[in-house]
């Protein structure tokens, strides 16, 4: 089994009767995040891509722009970086995607772990039409941290990237993309009023309900070529 999945015995009831099964269940653990040896917070997350989780969390929360090192020991994730204030510079205007690209990018969020458990979210990053990072986690916020962390650790310029997520886009999710200077966010689910306002103020193009050959653009639609 993958690191993110375990099995538990259960009883399944349906129209055909009752059966004993070993069901696939998503795994979660508690991790402690440190920045320059100072405790930041605890995160409940799937136990994979932990270096990326730590690196991306620091960037997505606006605590640092560049990192000098990441170290994972057990359930502790230590990040070393030059701290900075909240990132205010809006993402660039020149990144665009076509209508068909929205569906192609969103299709990449289909997760094998979700098919097995129904218990994870997924995020992906595309740059220049290519998939450059993907993650799945019990927490939708963690998936964004992880793909941003993977990009940072691999020196991928986030200002050229498009982020796609399976989860809702409240202000706390859009905030992460804005701090990472990602210009376009595509989501399978809905946003909230504050999520839309955050995207508008931060200069982020927010696309939601991207499923079944349709989507809704809430902010900065000039980046979507229809």
Inside any domain, residue 203: yes
Q: How far apart are CA 184 and CA 13, in angstroms?
A: 43
Inside any domain, residue 64: no
pTM for the model stands at 0.94
- The CATH number of whichever domain residue 197 belongs to comes to 3.40.140.10
Inside any domain, residue 143: yes
In eight-state DSSP terms, residue 156 is: -
In contact, 168 and 189? CB cutoff 8 Å: yes
Inside any domain, residue 55: no
Q: Write out pLDDT tens, residues 113-169.
A: 989 999 999 999 999 999 999 999 999 999 999 999 999 999 999 999 999 999 999
In residues, how long is the chain?
A: 226
Q: Quick check: 4 pLDDT over 50?
A: yes
What domain range includes position 200?
97-225
Inside any domain, residue 7: no
Which residue, chain included where needed, has tokens 């375990």? 6
Q: Quick check: 1 pLDDT over 50?
A: no
Q: Look at the chain and report how many structural domains it folds into.
A: 1
């Amino acid at each position: 089994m993958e690191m993110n999945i375990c099995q538990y015995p259960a009883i399944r009831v349906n129209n055909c009767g009752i059966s004993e099964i070993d069901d696939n269940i998503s795994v979660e653990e508690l991790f402690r995040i440190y920045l320059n040896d100072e405790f930041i917070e605890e995160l409940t997350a799937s136990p994979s891509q932990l270096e990326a989780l730590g690196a991306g969390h620091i960037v997505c929360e606006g605590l640092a722009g560049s990192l000098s090192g990441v170290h994972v020991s057990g359930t502790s994730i230590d990040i070393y970086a030059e701290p900075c204030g909240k990132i205010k510079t809006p993402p660039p205007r020149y990144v665009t995607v076509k209508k068909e690209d929205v569906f192609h990018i969103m299709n990449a969020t289909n997760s094998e772990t979700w098919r097995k458990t129904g218990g994870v979210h997924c995020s992906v990053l595309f740059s220049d039409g290519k998939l450059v990072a993907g993650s799945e986690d019990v927490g939708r916020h963690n998936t964004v941290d992880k793909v941003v962390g993977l990009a940072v650790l691999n020196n991928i310029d986030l200002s050229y990237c498009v982020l796609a997520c399976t989860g809702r886009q409240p202000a706390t999710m859009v905030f992460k993309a804005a701090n990472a200077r990602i210009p376009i966010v595509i989501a399978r689910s809905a946003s909230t009023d504050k999520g839309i306002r955050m995207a508008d103020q931060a200069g982020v193009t927010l696309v939601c309900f991207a499923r079944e050959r349709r989507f809704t653009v809430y902010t900065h639609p000039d980046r979507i070529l229809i």
